[in-house]
Chain A
Amino acid sequence: MKTEVVGSRALREDSWGKVFGQTKFPADVNLPNQIYGVVVRSPHPHARILNINSEEAMKLEGVAVVLTANDVPHNSHGVLFRDQPVIADYVRMVGDPVAVVGGETMEIAREAAERIRVDYEILPAIFDPEEAMKPEVPPLHPELQSTNVLYHLPIRRGSMEEGWAKADVVVEQVYKTQHVDHAFLQPEAVLAYLDERGHMVVQTATQYAHYDRGEIAHALGFRYSQVQVKTLAVGGAFGGREDISLQIIAALLALKTQRPVKMENTREESFYSHSKRHPMTMYYKTGAAKDGKLVAMQAKIIGDAGAYSSWSINVLRKSAVHATGPYEIPNVEIDSFAVFTNNPYTGAMRGFGAAQTVLAYESQMDLLAKKLGISPLEIRLRNCFQVGSITATGQELTSSVPLDQCLAKIAPYFRREVETP
Chain B
Amino acid sequence: MMVIECIVNDKKYVLEVDPQERLLDVLRNHLGLLGTKEGCGEGECGACTVILDGKTVNSCLVLAGQAHNSVITTIEGVGNRQSPHPVQKAFVEVGAVQCGFCTPGMVLSAKNLLDKNPHPSDEEIGVALSGNLCRCTGYDKILRAVKLAAEEGK
Contact B38–A27 (Cβ < 8 Å): yes
Complex CA distance for A213 and B80, rounded to whole angstroms:
36
Instruction: Decide: A233 and B34 in contact? CB cutoff 8 A.
Output: no
Contact with A along B95-135 (1 / 0, CB 8 A): 10111111110010000000000000000000000000111
- CB neighbours of A233 from chain B (8 A): 99-101
Which residues from chain A contact B16 at a C-beta distance below 8 Å? none
Q: Which of B9-43 contact A (CB under 8 A)?
A: 33-42
Q: Per a CB cutoff under 8 Å, which of A12, A16, A22, A186 touches B35? A: A22
Interface pair B36/A183, CB less than 8 Å apart = no
Number of interface residues of A (CB under 8 A): 30
Instruction: Indicate if the CB atoms of A238 and B101 lie closer than 8 Å.
Output: no
A142 within 8 A of B: no
Specify which of B39, B84, B104, B107 is in contact with A267 (CB 8 Å cutoff).
B39
B41:A266 contact, CB within 8 angstroms: yes
| A236-B91 contact in complex given A20-B35, A28-B34, C-beta closer than 8 Å | no
Chain B residues within 8 Å of A25, by CB? 37, 101
Q: Which of A236-292 contact B (CB under 8 A)?
A: 236-238, 266-267
Expressed in whole angstroms, the Cα–Cα distance for A236 and B33 within the complex equals 21
Task: Write out the residue numbers on chain B whose beta carbons fall within 8 Å of the beta carbon of A182.
Answer: 135
Interface of B is mostly: loop
B98: min CB distance to chain A, Å: 8
Given the complex, which residues of B lie within 8 Å of A156, measured CB to CB?
none
Q: Which residue of A lies closest to B74 (CB)?
A: A21
Contacts of B41 in A (CB 8 A): 266-267
* Pairwise interchain contact A236-B95, C-beta atoms closer than 8 A: no
A residues near B38, Cβ cutoff 8 Å: 27, 187
In Å, the complex CA distance between A237 and B134 comes to 12
Contacts of B53 in A (CB 8 A): none
Complex interface: chain B residues within 8 A of A11 (CB): 92-93, 95
**Inter-chain contacts of B103 with A (CB < 8 A):** 15, 18-19, 21
Q: Are A235 and B101 in contact (CB under 8 A)?
A: yes
Once the chains bind, are A15 and B97 in contact (CB under 8 Å)? yes
- Measured between C-beta atoms, what is the minimum distance from B6 to chain A in Å? 18
Give A29-64 as 1s and 0s: 1 = Cβ < 8 Å from B's Cβ atoms.
Answer: 000000000000000000000000000000000000
Number of interface residues of B (CB under 8 A): 39
Query: CA separation between A217 and B134, bound complex, in Å?
Result: 35
- In this assembly, does A24 line the interface, its C-beta being within 8 Å of a C-beta of chain B? yes
Contact of B36 among A15, A21, A187, A236 (CB under 8 A): A21
Contact B34 A21 (CB under 8 A): yes
Is A185 at the interface (CB under 8 A from chain B)?
yes
A184 within 8 A of B: yes
**Is A143 an interface residue when CB atoms closer than 8 A count as contact?**
no
> How far does the alpha carbon of A187 sit from the alpha carbon of B45 in the complex, in Å?
12
A contact residues around B59 at 8 Å (CB)? none
- State the Cβ distance, B65 to closest chain A Cβ, in Å: 18
- B39, A187: Cβ atoms closer than 8 Å: yes
List residues of A whose CB falls within 8 A of some B CB.
11-12, 14-25, 27-28, 182-187, 233-238, 266-267
What are 14 residue pairs bridging A and B, where the CB atoms are less than 8 Å apart in the complex? A12-B95, A12-B97, A15-B95, A19-B92, A19-B100, A19-B107, A21-B36, A185-B101, A186-B99, A187-B38, A187-B39, A236-B98, A236-B101, A266-B41
